[in-house]
Amino acid sequence: MCRRKKGKTVTEQKLRSHEWFGNRDVLGFTHRSWIKNQGHPDQMFDGRPVIGICNTWSDLTPCNAHFRILAEMVKRGVYEAGGYPLEFPVMSLGEVLMRPTTMLYRNLASMDVEETIRANPLDGVVLLTGCDKTTPSTVMGACSVDIPTIVLPGGPMLNGKYRGRDIGSGTSVWEFTDDLRSGKISMEDYMEAESCMSRSDGHCMTMGTASTMACMVEALGLTLPGGAAIPAADSRRRRLAHLTGNRIVQMVKEDLRPSQILTRANFENAIMVNAAVGGSSNFVVHLLAIAGRVGVELALDDFDRLGSHLPLLVNLMPSGQFLMEDFYYAGGVPVVVQELAELLHLEALTVTGKSIGENTAGAPCYGRDVIAPFEQPIKRNAGLAVLYGNLCEDGAIIKPSAATPDLMEHRGRAVVFEDIDDYHARIDDPNLDVDASCVLVLKQVGPKGYPGMPEVGNFGLPAKLLKQGVTDMVRISDGRMSGTAYGTVVLHVAPESAIGGALALVQNGDMIELDVDGRRLHLDVPAAELARRRAAWRPRPAHTERGYVSLFLEHVQQANLGADFDFLVGKSGAAVAHGNH
Ligand code: FES
C-alpha cells in the first residue's frame, strides 16, 4: 500500500518489479526461485520496492574502490525503509588506467547502465558514482530509462600531505612534473610525492572533474543535500549512503523520477553553481549530454550567458588554494547555493521531494577563506567563457579562472603539432622554433580524431621555455583538459580538426588572435588562402572499421553537442516489450 504524491488517496501501487516477481506462473516461479538462491525470504516478493544499486566499483578504478562498503550501507537503508535492494555491477571507468581515454567509453558505459536498469525488475536505482566519467555515464543511462533515481557520490580523498604542505590530485602532479622537467626537484622528491598525494579512499580531492561532477549532481538536485563534499574516509559518507537507501524507497512510493526533477531550472542552477565552485571544463560536455537525455534544450551559449559573469566563491585547487576536505568542513555546496540565492531557481525540485532552496535554507559557513561571500569573491567573472571565430565556428571554451590574466588578450605565431605523436616527438627538441609569445596548436585530439577527446588540452610547454621560467602559454586544441589542470588553454574547438574544422588548416607561422573578453578566436589568414588549404585537405583514414570504436566514430557528436551518440539522445522509458525467454 503506497501513498502517492500530491495528496492522492492511498492506493495499491503496482510496481514495475511486480511484472517479474508478482506472477503466479512459470515466469514468476523462475524469477523468484533462482534469486532465492541468495537466501532472500518470501517477504522480499510481497510487492515492496526493488531498488537497484548500480555499482561502479572496480579495483581498476581506484577512486571507486571503496564502493562495496558504500553499497552495504545503502542496502541497510533500503531494508530499513521496507525495500528490497539488489546490487549490480556496470562498466567502471577509471581515469588513471584506461587507455586511450575514458571519454571514449562514457557513452558505452551509459548504454550498459540504461539497458541493465531497463532489463531488470527494478523500481528505483541508486547510482554509486566517483571517478570522473562514472557520474555522467550513469546519470545519462538512468535518465534514458526514467525510473526513480538518486545519486550517491563516493566522496573525495583526504587532502594530500607532502613535507608539511597540502598537495592536490592532478594539480600538484602537473606542478611536480614541470619542476622535474626544469630540474627544480629530483626524481627522489618526485617519487615521494606520489605516495603522499593519494592517501585514502576517494576520488581526486581538487575541484577536478570528479568533484565537479559531484557538485553538479547536487546542484541538479539528484543527491541528498551536502552529498558532494563529504570525504570518502569520513563516517558521514557511510551515513549518507544509509540515508540514500532510505530515501530511494520513498522516491519509488512517490514515483519521483528524473524527468520530474531535471527541468531547465535545475540545469541553469548547475551551470551557476559550477561557475562559483570553479568547476572543471569537462562539466560542459557532460551537462549537455545529460540535458539531451532528458530533453531539456541546453546550448553552449547558456554556459557563457549564465556562468561567465559569476564570481569564483570556492577557493579550491586548481583555481585556488584549498581542497575538498576543507570545502566540506566549510559547509560545501549548500553554502554556495545560499550565496547564489538571488540568482538560482531556489524552487527547483530535488530528490528530497523539496526544493533546493528548502534543502539549503540557513546553511552555515564555517570557513570564509574556503567559501567566500558573494560580495567579496575570490575572483570576479570566473565562469567558463565560450569563444567563437573562424577557428571555432561552432564554439570553443576557456576557463578564465585557471588562465593567466595577461594572456587573455593575445596575438601570437602558431606552432603546430599535427597530432599527439608529433607533439611528443618535438616538444622538447632544443631546435623547436618557439618562444613564450607563440600559440601552441594541437590537432587530432577531438571526439573523432583521437578518438575519444582525451584530456591533453593542457599539453606541457617546451622544456627549453620551462627552463627559462615560462609558466604558461596560449594553447589551442579540440581536446579536453583535466579538471585538475590550469593554464590559458582553449578547449573543445568545434568542429574538430579530424572532420575538417578550421583547426585542421592552421600552419606554422600563422597568426592567431585570442580575445577572451571579446569572446573571439581568430585565425588571421586571408579567406582565399584558407579556401585553398581547405580544398587540399584530406581526412585521415578511419582508426578502425570494427567493434565499438567504429560505432563511436560513426555516431559521436561534436563537443558543442555534448559528444553523446546521436542515437542515444532522448529516452526510451522503462517499458520492455516482452517477458524474458
Ligand atoms: Fe578518479 Fe581523478 S582519477 S577522480
**Of 360, 393, 428, which residue sits at a domain end?**
360
Provide DSSP, 297-340: ---HHHHHHHHTTSPB-B-BTTTSSB-HHHHHHHT-HHHHHHHT
| pLDDT surpasses 80 at 316 | yes
25-47 mean pLDDT? 95
Residues 38 and 94 in one domain: no
pLDDT confidence bin for 401, thresholds 50/70/90: confident
Average pLDDT, the chain: 95
Residues 524 and 506 in one domain: yes
User: Is the Cβ–Cβ distance between 488 and 471 less than 8 Å?
Assistant: no
In this structure, is residue 95 part of a structural domain?
yes
Provide DSSP, 505-574: G--TT-EEEEETTTTEEEE-S-HHHHHHHHHH--PPPPS-SSHHHHHHHHHBPPGGGTS-BGGGSS---S
**Of 11, 26, 42, which residue sits at a domain end?**
42
Among the residue ranges 74-78, 127-131, 544-548, the one predicted with the least confidence is 544-548
Residues 19 and 75 in one domain: no
In this structure, is residue 26 part of a structural domain?
yes
Which numbered atom of ligand 1 lies nearest the CA of 61? 1
Structure confidence at residue 382 (pLDDT): 85
Q: What residues are in contact with ligand 1 under a 6 Å CB criterion? A: 63, 95-96, 131-132, 169, 203-204, 208, 210
Tally of CB atoms within 10 A around 393: 14
pLDDT confidence bin for 7, thresholds 50/70/90: very low
Residues 135 and 1 in one domain: no
Which numbered atom of ligand 1 lies nearest the CA of 62? 1
Degrees, nearest 5: CA angle 6-575-556: 105
State the distance from the centre of ligand 1 to the C-alpha of 52, rounded, in angstroms. 24
| pLDDT surpasses 90 at 579 | no
What percent of the chain shows pLDDT beyond 70? 98
Q: Is the peptide bond before 100 cis (omega within 30 degrees of 0)?
A: yes
Domain encompassing residue 453: 385-540
Which amino acid, residue 133?
K
What is the distance between the alpha carbons of residues 394 and 503, in angstroms, rounded to a whole number? 12
In this structure, is residue 18 part of a structural domain?
yes
State the distance from the centre of ligand 1 to the C-alpha of 91, rounded, in angstroms. 16
pTM above 0.85, yes or no: yes
User: Is the Cβ–Cβ distance between 503 and 449 less than 8 Å?
Assistant: no
* 447-483 confidence digits (pLDDT tens): 999 999 999 999 999 999 999 999 999 999 999 998 7
User: Is the Cβ–Cβ distance between 140 and 289 less than 8 Å?
Assistant: yes
77-90 mean pLDDT? 98
| pLDDT surpasses 50 at 4 | no
Residues 279 and 138 in one domain: yes
Structure confidence at residue 409 (pLDDT): 97
Residues 7 and 91 in one domain: no
Residues 34 and 61 in one domain: no
Q: What is the CA radius of gyration of the chain?
A: 24
Burial 458-476 (b: 16+ CB within 10 A, else e): bbbbbbbbbeeebebbbbb
Structure confidence at residue 476 (pLDDT): 98
Structure confidence at residue 13 (pLDDT): 66
What CATH number corresponds to the domain at position 88? 3.40.50.2300
**Candidate from 204, 215, 280, 482 with most ligand 1 atoms within 8 A of CB, to mutate:** 204
Number of domains within the chain: 3
* 199-239 confidence digits (pLDDT tens): 999 999 999 999 999 999 999 999 999 999 999 999 999 99
Which numbered atom of ligand 1 lies nearest the CA of 170? 2
119-142 mean pLDDT? 98
Structure confidence at residue 1 (pLDDT): 35
Residues 477 and 340 in one domain: no
State the distance from the centre of ligand 1 to the C-alpha of 64, rounded, in angstroms. 9
Residues 55 and 86 in one domain: yes
Degrees, nearest 5: CA angle 84-90-92: 135
What is the distance between the alpha carbons of residues 425 and 514, in angstroms, rounded to a whole number? 27
Give the 3-state secondary structure of residue 445: coil
Structure confidence at residue 9 (pLDDT): 32
Nearest-CA residue for ligand 1 atom 1 is 131
In this structure, is residue 553 part of a structural domain?
no
39-55 mean pLDDT? 96
Nearest-CA residue for ligand 1 atom 2 is 204
327-356 mean pLDDT? 98
In this structure, is residue 579 part of a structural domain?
no
Structure confidence at residue 11 (pLDDT): 38
In this structure, is residue 365 part of a structural domain?
no
Residues 57 and 30 in one domain: no
In this structure, is residue 192 part of a structural domain?
no
* 141-174 confidence digits (pLDDT tens): 999 999 999 999 999 999 999 999 999 998 888 8
State the distance from the centre of ligand 1 to the C-alpha of 358, rounded, in angstroms. 32
What is the distance between the alpha carbons of residues 254 and 407, in angstroms, rounded to a whole number? 52
| pLDDT surpasses 80 at 87 | yes
Nearest-CA residue for ligand 1 atom 3 is 95
43-47 mean pLDDT? 95
Which numbered atom of ligand 1 lies nearest the CA of 96? 3
Residues 106 and 231 in one domain: yes
Structure confidence at residue 5 (pLDDT): 44
Pick from 207, 382, 373, 215: nearest CA to 307: 382
Residues 143 and 239 in one domain: yes
In this structure, is residue 191 part of a structural domain?
no
What is the distance between the alpha carbons of residues 457 and 489, in angstroms, rounded to a whole number? 7
325-339 mean pLDDT? 98
Provide DSSP, 63-74: GGTTHHHHHHHH
